[in-house]
Structure 1
Amino acid sequence: MSHLQNLLLDTLLGTKHVDSAALIKLQERSLCVASPGFSIMPGDVRTLVNGFAKNPLQTRREGLYFKEKDYKCIRADDYSLYAKNENTGVVVVKTHLYLLVATYTEGMYPSVCVEATEKLGEYLRGKGN
């Protein structure tokens, strides 16, 4: 298991309020590492990368189509994208090199998912990643 995968498992899934997590390489637009059983298709990678490439207002207005579900975007800015679909959601944090993706499901606290994902994103940005 790689150092990055350990980071995802310990800091995100360890909270019990993140269902799955992944790191996407921004430059290559490819999946770098993911939690066991979580895969992100190339179309979903494009969707997430494009969510940051667009004007944040446009992203909020249009929402996201991720993992075959429509998500209502509740936050979009230069470094963060939060979207929800009923009782599930996705949190995406942009660093210099990666998009950090975390999902939560029913029964999990979205606020804990957001806080853990943002803290890991801040840590990675601080390391130059």
Structure 2
Amino acid sequence: MLTPVRHGKPILVGTGKLTRAAIFNKEGTSVWASSPGFTVTPAEIKEIVSAYNDGEKVLSSGMHVGGERYVVLKIVDRSIYCKKGKEGLCIVKTTQAILVAHYPEMVQPGEATKIVEELADYLVSVGY
């Protein structure tokens, strides 16, 4: 499976701030890249894709990713922010992809989201 790299390291997980990540197409029908051991099921991908069309449902019921349930804190334009205890997820939609990245409790949410949002900006700038 393709893993986007920069300077020989995976872009998201290679930063040391994110522990797991996946990239799939915006329709949710194809996984483009995934961290080893991080499986986002087809049902979970469908839930993520649906959240962009109807965020109210996940705001009230939460979201499942990698077999875990997360509380959805907010949905802002292309980004969905989720927490489970002190860890969390940043999910960002680009022109053609959806990035899902997990950060551990010792990483500040703002640090993690900056990394994911910057990759999303880059992908948008090159047509993805």
TM-score normalised by the shorter chain: which range applies? 0.7 to 0.9
AA of the residue aligned to 2:103 = Y
Structure 2 length-normalised TM: 0.85
Question: Paired residue for 2:41?
Answer: 41
Structure 2 equivalent of residue 108 of structure 1: 107
Structure 1 match to 2:32? 32
Give the secondary-structure state (helix, strand or coil) at the position aligned to 1:29.
coil
Consecutive unaligned residues of structure 2, counting only runs of 5 or more, are none
Whether the 8 Å CA contact 1:24–1:99 is kept in 2: the answer is yes
TM-score w.r.t. the length of structure 1 is: 0.85
Q: Give distance in 2, aligned partners of 1:67 and 1:28.
A: 15
The separation in 1 between residues aligned to 2:83 and 2:118, in whole angstroms, is: 20
Number of aligned pairs?
126
Asked if the contact 1:95–1:124 (Cα under 8 Å) also holds between the matched residues in 2, the reply is yes
The Cα RMSD (Å) is 1.9
In structure 1, distance between residues paired with 2:17 and 2:28:
29
Residue 119 of structure 1 corresponds to which residue in structure 2? 118
Alignment match, 1:13? 13
Distance 2:96 2:116 in 1: 15
Select the structure that is richer in helix: 1
Q: 1:69 to 1:10 in 2, by over 3 A?
A: closer
Distance 2:65 2:122 in 1: 26
Instruction: In structure 1, list runs of 5 or more residues that go unmatched.
Output: none
- 1:65-118 Cα offsets, whole Å, 9 max, x none, are 222322111120220001001022111000011001100122222211100000
Residue type at the aligned position of 2:16: K
Q: CA deviation at 1:57?
A: 4.2
